[in-house]
Amino acid sequence: MQLVSKSNILIVGLGLMGGSYAKALHRVGFHVNAIAHKQEDIDYALEQGFIDQGAAFPDPELIGSAELIVFALYPHVFKQWIEENQKYFQPGALLTDVTGVKRCVVYDIQEMLRPDVEFIAAHPMAGREVCGVRNADDRIFREANYIVVPTEKNTPEAIEVCKSLGRVMGFQRITELTPEMHDEMIAFTSQLTHCIAISLMTCNDADHIGSFTGDSFRDLTRIARINEDMWTELFLDNIDALIHEMDLFAAEFGRLRWMLASRDIEGIKNTMRKSTQRRIALDQGK
């Protein structure tokens, strides 16, 4: 398929991310339909005018009319949905997703998929601390990264359409990683950070900390407000990579503790200089 303004796009799963995709894609002129679990979410999106049609069940007509389908589901629901409903896909349909882990979905889905449709995985690295379609907001894409995650089974055309999709939704930077590289990178930059935020928020029972915090504590715990069902599944689906990153962090944190306890001033300052240089490089987009 080619991504043109009249393309018929179906969003499956109308939560925060599915809703934000629908808003972004509707805004730029696509015909956007949605399938959700709850009728009230469909009704809300119709009222707000960011989908054209919707159903609270796997409507064969909506599925069959879609040239591009975006899956915004939990990993285990995603696979099951494909299994049950792929018979309704139109030949040549392109499928993509927003799933935060890739190894555990990409290969299985490409394996089980009908040969006349193609699945190209993507990970929009954006989110909010609240969930549900009522919190959908496509402005979260503006300064965000969008990672396309192809395998050997993907065609150059599908990869290109997937990148175009990221571009039209307003993502700042679009890159490509293998499923393995993606999961390793995400274990470090996203999953580890969530584990740290959770542990910081739960490690000390001090009361009334709101009166005694600076911005730093608020920044480090913003993501400690977390959807426990989704993140537990994402963590466990990437557990080997996550545990590896947790161990790297714990070792480095332990090293800093040791330098502090032994008053190794040069060691402490060298570590701080390294961290400062790396953070400046990150701000410069490196």
Residue 54 or 124: the one with the smaller Cβ distance to a copy of itself is 124
Q: 35 or 126, CB closer to a copy of itself?
A: 126
**Beta carbon nearer to a copy of itself, 38 or 274:** 274
Counting runs of H as helices and runs of E as strands, what totals does the chain give? 12, 9
Torsion of CA 154, 156, 157, 160, to 10 degrees: 100
Tell me the per-residue interface mask from 82 to 121 with a copy of itself, x by CB under 8 A, - otherwise: ----------------------------------------
* Beta-sheet pairing, 121-125 with 94-97: unpaired
Containing 240, the helix (H) or strand (E) segment is helix 239-261
- Quote the crossing angle between the two packed helices 239-261 and 179-186, to the nearest 10°: 40
Question: Nearest CA to 278 among 189, 162, 174?
Answer: 189
CA 157 and chain centroid, separation: 23
Q: Is 222 in the site for a copy of itself (CB under 8 A)?
A: yes
Closer residue to a copy of itself in complex, CB, 47/251: 251
Using the minimum distance from each CB to a copy of itself, give the nearer residue, 46 or 246: 246
If one asks whether residue 213 binds a copy of itself (CB under 8 A), the answer comes out as: yes
Cβ pair 6, 23 in contact under 8 A: no
Instruction: Taking each helix axis as running N to C, give the angle between helix 193-202 and helix 239-261, from 0 to 180 degrees, rounded to the nearest 10.
Output: 60
Judged by CB under 8 A, the residue of 81, 88, 107, 217 near a copy of itself is 217
Among 215, 234, 237, 241, binds a copy of itself (CB under 8 A): 215
Residues 239-258 that bind a copy of itself (CB under 8 A): 239, 242-243, 245-257
Q: Please report, as residue ranges, which positions from 141 to 180 form the binding site for a copy of itself (by CB under 8 A).
A: 144-145, 147, 173, 175, 177
